[in-house]
Copies of this chain bind each other. A is one copy, B any other.
Amino acid sequence: MASPEIDALTQALARLPGLGPRSARRAVLHLLKRRETALAPLVRALQAVEANMSTCDTCGNVDTRNPCGICTDSRRDVSQLCVVEEVADLWALDRARLFPGRYHVLGGRLSALDGVRPEDLNIEGLVTRIAAGGVEEVVLAMNATLEGQTTMHYVADRLEKLPIRITQLAHGVPVGGELDYLDEGTLAQALKARRPVS
């Protein structure tokens, strides 16, 4: 029924997380009925992001600036560095400004199953950042999964000799849970009760 253009848009939207074919159709209809107030703003917002997005060379965050808004925010406490697996985790933690410091995105977690080795993660970049000085505490905020915890211990071992405090998120993160799905209250508790890596 619909034109190829409308079909293509419906399919592109249906691939977004949280939208299936049915809600994608409703979204398309919503956009078609509101050309000036919904469709045009969405097109412009996407174009602006597409034209400007980049990965921060310092921390691995995705932003429209490089270095990113967090790395260039002078109000941030440079003595605290929070290490996360993915950009999604950084966003989850930073959403409610729970952490006053800066971040480091590893870009994944060690996985024998998926063939992810230490050299596939941005661990060297982390060591280099810390070696440059200024960092006093590194919070290892990996997911509470087996692979996340393996990654945490590997990173902790790699940082062992550096003159810094190494902490991990408190239990409070449910076992098997992924940071990006947690409510801010749980994240806040886990961050507040963080303890040295044992």
Interface residues of chain A, those whose CB is within 8 Å of chain B, are: 1-6, 8-9, 11-13, 15-19, 23, 25-33, 35, 38-43, 45-50, 52-53, 62-65, 68-70, 87-88, 91, 94-95, 97, 180
Q: Judge whether A70 and B1 touch: CB under 8 Å.
A: yes
Alpha-carbon separation in the docked complex, A19 to B31 (Å): 13
A25 — which chain B residues lie within 8 A by C-beta? 91, 95
Q: Judge whether B5 and A64 touch: CB under 8 Å.
A: yes
Q: Judge whether A50 and B43 touch: CB under 8 Å.
A: yes
With CB as the reference atom, state the residue of chain B lying closest to A16. B27
Alpha-carbon separation in the docked complex, A48 to B88 (Å): 30
Chain A binding surface SS class: helix
Alpha-carbon separation in the docked complex, A8 to B1 (Å): 32
Q: Judge whether B41 and A12 touch: CB under 8 Å.
A: yes
Q: Judge whether B42 and A5 touch: CB under 8 Å.
A: no
With CB as the reference atom, state the residue of chain B lying closest to A93. B1
Sample 15 A-B pairs with CB under 8 A, ordered by A number.
A2-B63, A3-B63, A3-B65, A4-B64, A5-B48, A6-B49, A8-B41, A16-B19, A16-B30, A19-B19, A25-B95, A28-B49, A29-B91, A32-B53, A39-B50
